[in-house]
Amino acid sequence: MAAAPLLVRLCPAPRAAEKALLKLQSYFQSGKRSGGGECEVRVGSEPGTYWVQFQQERDKKSVESRTDHVLEMGDQRLRVVIQAGEGEPGKSPVTAQASSSSPPPQRAARGHGDDAAGEVITKKIFLTVSATLNTSMFTEEQRDKITIICPNLKREGNPYIDGCEKLTGDFTDIEKAYHYFKDILAGNDTNGNFPHSGSKKDLEDENGLNSEGMNELTVLSALYEYFNHTCKEEIKVVQEHFGVRIKIKDLYNGNTSICFTSGKSPASIQKAKDFFIGTFQRSVEDLKQEKIPVRNSSALNETIIKLNAGFRNLLAKEEGNQLLLRGPASEILAAKRFLAKEDENSRAAKNMKISSELYRFRNGVEVDASMFKLLETALSKEIEDIKDKFDTVIEKKDSSCGQKVFIIFRPQIKTSDMSSHATESFINALQNAFAMLREKVISWKLSEDQKKRLNTLLNGKQLEDLHVKLKKTEDKLILSGLPKHVCAAEKHIVNLLNIEDSTQTISRTPLSSDLSYQEATQASEKKYNSGQNNSLSSEGQSKTKAEEDNTDACPICMETIKNKEILRKCKHAFCKSCIEQAMTYKQACPVCNTVYGVMEGNQPEGTMSYVMLSSSLPGYPDCGTIEITYRMPGGIQTSDHPNPGKPYGSTTRTAYLPANKEGQEILQLLRRAFNQKLIFTVGQSRTTGAGDVITWNDIHHKTSMSGGPTKFGYPDSDYLQRVRSELKARGIE
């Protein structure tokens, strides 16, 4: 039974009574704003007064329990005062727009008969009733269902108003339809399938069943914030296409008011509202929200910018020192995966920096200054390649009164420190170059005039320009440098001294490095790229090998060779005792690093498997992907490991190769390396800094499908060549 009408007064009385009536009806129908519910408002007998007829007694009592009712009209704030007294009895609360197809009936007498009799009279009065339905608020399925509930109800489109549908039937059908749609708006229809019941209820508060003349909506502020962020283009369409202006006002109670104004006809406002409501409801469909704790608050703003730029249907913002994600569940999940990847890459970069800081040569490689000067031109191209490959810069520092020089590699960008890899590659190139240095001992009988000219040459800088070092003993000259430089310097001296016939010359092959052999080979074992091609020409290398075959000096002890031992692959010669001792450190030639025998590492037990993926890697669009999985269980360290008897944990690693011919070849080489226990070792991780863990053993893998070299992924055009060289350095080719 409908509640008794409630008399209210607006203070001060508004100038436009009709507009105030619509505003009041909208206000009292909003449970959030006034505490009310479904009602009808009529103008009272005195200016500024209005009768409010609530359908439910509880809605009326809820309104009466509040004392702070305020109605906003433009820039006015009108106080709504509830008046004491009863309303007009017998007024029908019917809210549908009714039209009669019969002649006007006689007015029935009031006060006679019960409620049932009144209902019968009402039904007889309205033989047919029509109502205009706002179709934008309901799905097609929901509108179709009303014809099942009311088979005699007629539905037809309204040719004059877009987004509306005309319903025609007897009073009972229209009443059933009204309550059916009202229940849907209230969220009571479990089969209604509304996208977001909360947003529907918000829109219902300002957008009743017959919403003509209303130009204001109230929605949850959180929903509007998301809509405004993700649907900027749609909002622009509403304003430009329909010629309306949208004014937004925060009501400071968790709601936002959306007001439509236009200099055109009211129909344009209604069309704009219908379009806006439909778009709004679709955008908040299945909307979810999640808060994520923030590890690095200093980078939070940058993270928010990345998320909002990369995910169109997601709103990311800071809220209470946490990262708030609002959007569909699929978008939130994708954003969380992105954040996990970013966090992993950030930690990898940080750990890479820690690894570089722990690196033994982080302060540089110490080299004899005079020897480095002899090699600098030969190494210049090699150094440039290393700088480009590992994104580093080189720094040279003199020490010990200029007798020594430190070669230091530093990262160009702090977030990706690969300076340790650059240093290892430089050590490898330096060793190869040192192995090619030659000394030539020359015996001449010189006149006093020639001796003077020779002393002038020794005191000048001409020989520095020739990249050789000249040392004079009693009756001998010793030239040091690369073969072609020594040859050129000898010709220069002969021409300078006018010597026609030289006496017998002796050549030998010293290796003058400040790194001891054992230290050099240990550093070489850790090198990033043992297959680097130095800038010395192949022709020069061939000449050097020929000279080595004929030399009488052992490259290890620098003395005359005793019990000559010639290595079968590279043909370098050594003292038998020297090369046997060297091979105990590393099964490779000390001069050229050619591997001999089967190299076996200390890799723990584990398994290696692979699968073929149909997706392609960046840089290899014409083939699939090989996904390699290493599963290494935990165990106890043996005598081959740093801390025998201590445990190490398990790990699983995944790596990727292109599924082309070269990728298949690398896969088989990696399989051999794994069987020879060379892929992993136990020690300190270069990426995390943790000790007593299973870690890579300097055969580099691509652990990500994308991101480029700095993120251990593709594209990286030189990777397959580099890993092939690393494997070759271990005798796997």
Complete DSSP assignment for 515-578? S-HHHHHHHHHT-S-TTPPPSS-HHHHHHHHHHHHH--B-TTT-SB-SSEEE-TTT--EEEHHH
Q: Do residues 279 and 234 touch, judged by C-beta distance below 8 A?
A: yes
Token code pair at residue 255: 């709601």
Token code pair at residue 55: 């359908």
pLDDT at residue number 535? 36
Geometric angle at alpha carbon 411, from 406 and 417, rounded to 5°: 115
In this structure, the answer to whether residues 389 and 490 fall within a common structural domain is no
pLDDT at residue number 198? 40
Using one digit for the tens of pLDDT, what is the confidence trace for 86-103? 444 333 333 333 333 333
Given a cut of 60, whether residue 677 has pLDDT beyond it is yes
Which of 285, 303, 337 is a domain's end point?
Answer: 285
Which of 148-152, 283-287, 664-668 ranks highest by mean pLDDT? 664-668
The neighbouring-strand residues paired with 71 are: 78
In this structure, the answer to whether residues 105 and 190 fall within a common structural domain is yes
**Taking the model in full, what pTM does it have?**
0.32
Given a cut of 90, whether residue 655 has pLDDT beyond it is yes
Nearest of 586, 466, 579 to residue 519 by alpha carbon: 586
Q: Say if 565 falls within a structural domain.
A: no
Task: Supply the CATH number for residue 318's domain.
Answer: 3.30.1370.120
pLDDT at residue number 667? 94
Token code pair at residue 108: 């029935």
Q: Say if 477 falls within a structural domain.
A: yes
Mean pLDDT of 232-255: 84
Given a cut of 80, whether residue 42 has pLDDT beyond it is yes
Q: Residue 38: count other Cβ atoms within 10 Å of its Cβ.
A: 23
SS3 315: strand
pLDDT at residue number 503? 40
Confidence band (pLDDT; 50, 70, 90) for 672?
very high
Confidence band (pLDDT; 50, 70, 90) for 623?
very high
Query: How many domains is the chain built from?
Result: 7
Given a cut of 90, whether residue 658 has pLDDT beyond it is yes
How far apart are alpha carbons 371 and 450 in whole angstroms?
A: 27
Using one digit for the tens of pLDDT, what is the confidence trace for 390-404? 788 888 888 767 678
Task: Supply the CATH number for residue 618's domain.
Answer: 3.30.390.130
Q: Which domain holds residue 523?
A: 361-436+517-533
List Cβ<8 Å contacts ≥24 apart for 590-594: 590/435, 590/517, 590/521, 590/555, 590/556, 591/435, 591/548, 591/555, 592/432, 592/435, 593/428, 593/431, 593/432, 593/524, 593/530, 593/729, 594/567, 594/569, 594/570
Q: Say if 583 falls within a structural domain.
A: no
In this structure, the answer to whether residues 528 and 381 fall within a common structural domain is yes
How far apart are alpha carbons 630 and 637 in whole angstroms?
A: 19
User: What are phi and psi for residue 107, nearest 5 degrees?
Assistant: -70, 130
In this structure, the answer to whether residues 201 and 243 fall within a common structural domain is yes
Looking up tokens 């794994």, which residue turns up? 674
Which of 309, 343, 358 is a domain's end point?
Answer: 358
Arithmetic mean of pLDDT over the chain: 75
pLDDT at residue number 524? 39
Token code pair at residue 63: 């309104």
Token code pair at residue 636: 């106890």
The amino acid that residue 668 corresponds to is Q
Q: Say if 591 falls within a structural domain.
A: no
Q: Which residues contact 14 (CB under 8 A, 6 or more apart)?
A: 20, 48, 73, 76, 78
Least confident of 76-90, 452-466, 504-518, 647-661: 504-518
Which of 73, 93, 113 is a domain's end point?
Answer: 93
How far apart are alpha carbons 248 and 96 in whole angstroms?
A: 31
Task: Supply the CATH number for residue 108's domain.
Answer: 3.30.1370
In this structure, the answer to whether residues 526 and 447 fall within a common structural domain is no
Residue 478 vs residues 69, 471, 472, 495: alpha-carbon distances, Å: 107, 5, 6, 17
In this structure, the answer to whether residues 647 and 664 fall within a common structural domain is yes
Given a cut of 50, whether residue 12 has pLDDT beyond it is yes
Tally of CA atoms within 13 A in the half-sphere of 52 that contains its CB: 35
Token code pair at residue 454: 């020779």
pLDDT at residue number 674? 94
Confidence band (pLDDT; 50, 70, 90) for 603?
very high
SS3 248: strand
Q: Say if 540 falls within a structural domain.
A: no
In this structure, the answer to whether residues 615 and 704 fall within a common structural domain is yes
Given a cut of 60, whether residue 539 has pLDDT beyond it is no
Mean pLDDT of 461-484: 74
In this structure, the answer to whether residues 294 and 258 fall within a common structural domain is no
Mean pLDDT of 537-562: 58
pLDDT at residue number 100? 35
In this structure, the answer to whether residues 614 and 709 fall within a common structural domain is yes
Q: Say if 554 falls within a structural domain.
A: no
Q: Say if 555 falls within a structural domain.
A: no
pLDDT at residue number 192? 37
Q: Residue 256: count other Cβ atoms within 10 Å of its Cβ.
A: 22
Q: Say if 69 falls within a structural domain.
A: yes
In this structure, the answer to whether residues 127 and 203 fall within a common structural domain is no
Residue 295 vs residues 292, 323, 333, 339: alpha-carbon distances, Å: 10, 10, 19, 11
Torsion of CA 642, 643, 649, 650, to 10 degrees: 40
The amino acid that residue 48 corresponds to is G
107: left (phi over 0), alpha (psi -120 to 50) or beta: beta
Given a cut of 90, whether residue 139 has pLDDT beyond it is no
Looking up tokens 């290899």, which residue turns up? 620
In this structure, the answer to whether residues 703 and 626 fall within a common structural domain is yes
Task: Give DSSP secondary structure letters for 375-400.
Answer: HHHHHHHHHHHHHHHHTEEEEEEEET
How far apart are alpha carbons 103 and 113 in whole angstroms?
A: 24
Q: Do residues 684 and 594 touch, judged by C-beta distance below 8 A?
A: no
In this structure, the answer to whether residues 461 and 429 fall within a common structural domain is no
Tally of CA atoms within 13 A in the half-sphere of 454 that contains its CB: 23
Provide the H-helix boundaries in 195-265: 197-206, 221-230, 232-242
The neighbouring-strand residues paired with 40 are: 53
% of residues, the chain, pLDDT over 70: 75
List Cβ<8 Å contacts ≥24 apart for 21-26: 21/50, 22/213, 22/214, 23/71, 23/73, 24/50, 24/52, 24/71, 24/80, 25/208, 26/205, 26/206, 26/208, 26/214, 26/216
Token code pair at residue 500: 């026609």
